[in-house]
Amino acid sequence: MIHPISSQRRLNYNTLLSLATFRSGSDMKHILYVFFALTLSCGISSVVNAQIRWIVPSQNFQESGSTTVNPDRGLYKQLRFDNTFSFAVSPQEKNVRIYFVIDQFINKPFDQDQMTDFGNSLAAMERTHQRAIVRFLYDYPSADVVSSGLKSRNARTAPASLMSMHIRQLGSVLASHRRAVFAVESGLVGFWGEQHGDTPDKQTPSAIASVVDQWRVALAGTQIQILARYPKALQEHIAKQPDILAIQPKVGFWNDCLGAHDDVNMQVRQVPIVEGETCMLAPRIDYSCNTMMGYFQSIQLDELHSEYYRDIIAGWKMQGCFKQLEERLGYRYVIRKAKLADDGSEIMLQIDNVGWGRSLVSRPLYLVHDGHRVQQIGDLVDFYPGSVNHLHIHLNAPLPLSGGSITLETDDDVQFSNTTGNLIFHFN
């Protein structure tokens, strides 16, 4: 937003008008004098404005040629924990998807000690600015069951009433530690919590939409994304309640077979496919770099499982597009230009989002001088894929022009994809 010139740079019209006091209503000389004074005022104001001098950084803003590890974007590792909520994630893993297998709780609620363990584990992730996608599931079929065919039995999941209690218990802890959680896959129903293979009453579109709604209620007031596996579970629901697309927590989809033959029906207008993985099913077109990179860009994919399906990922590495995938998934911010007024009162920036996606949560962006926040200058949630964003900020207090540095930061430590990182100015 362009702010007006600061008051010290304006010429006062009232002062000029006070110089021209009429001696009589018919004194043409004074009329001309006032006209001249007003014209002069406009001219001087323009000259003063033109006298603003800008300082540019000494460094060039070059885009880094490497992957920038940031929360809620890129490739993720998958972890599994069985019937425990005490877990640890390596600090090196910025993004993870965690499977919580809870088959010992098909007939009972969680106890308080378990929920305390869960809260402590999430708190540890918050401290290291890590973010998880979580899925809770009752039935992780054994290799024997898979080899004999999933249709040999129905998935074994909790009754609907107990499932609702579990959602309330888990949702309370997740909401308390929301900074550690990017998304909740609504899960629970079906094999692997993938919402297929369960008894007919549990996997109808209305039943799965009800599970999504229960998560939304449990996580009200947070920015945690609530994801369903299949669009058919939400199409009618969204048509009846279009407001759920605009309020937090927002709904979206996860897709465990990106690009597969049945993937053509995976998209619903305005509902993002936030994350997923590829699988062993036959492709809709093919799994080549050209097809899949274009597809990921079109759906603005944020996160992708880094280890599954391995044959497809190995193909991307061999074809040479894996590096592009690492760099472009989700958001990727690059500082292009910067300049600072010579009195420290204004700063102008150009920040581009060159990623395939965008931040799905609010991320206030702060200007920082020598380690201290100066003021908020924007929100990264507003920087859409492919956007060129010009910021002209009138600062609440002038910045000193000697000593220290000027950088950008967010609460969750988002890194810009420049060779100089988040640095804008450095003063000797």
pLDDT digits (tens, 9 = 90+) for 241-275: 888 877 888 888 999 999 998 886 666 666 788 89
> Kind of pairing, strands 131-139 and 273-276?
unpaired
Q: Classify the C-alpha dihedral 47-48-49-53 as positive or negative.
A: positive
Determine the longest span between alpha carbons in the chain, in angstroms. 107
pLDDT digits (tens, 9 = 90+) for 12-34: 323 332 333 333 334 444 443 43
Taking the C-alpha atoms of residue 266 and residue 264, their distance in angstroms, rounded to an integer, is 6
The DSSP code sequence of 139-186 is: E---HHHHHH-GGGS------HHHHHHHHHHHHHHHHHTGGGEEEEEE
pLDDT digits (tens, 9 = 90+) for 386-413: 999 999 999 999 998 888 999 999 999 9
Distance of CA 412 to the CA centre of its chain: 11
Does 223 score more than 70 pLDDT? yes
- The pLDDT score that the predictor gives to residue 250 is 86
State the pTM of this model.
0.85
Q: Which of 257, 339, 268, 263 is nearest to 304 (CA)?
A: 257
Does 52 score more than 60 pLDDT? yes
Residues 6+ apart with CB under 8 A from 366: 373, 374, 375, 376, 377, 408, 409, 410
Taking the C-alpha atoms of residue 355 and residue 177, their distance in angstroms, rounded to an integer, is 28
Phi, psi of 250 (to 5 degrees): -85, 160
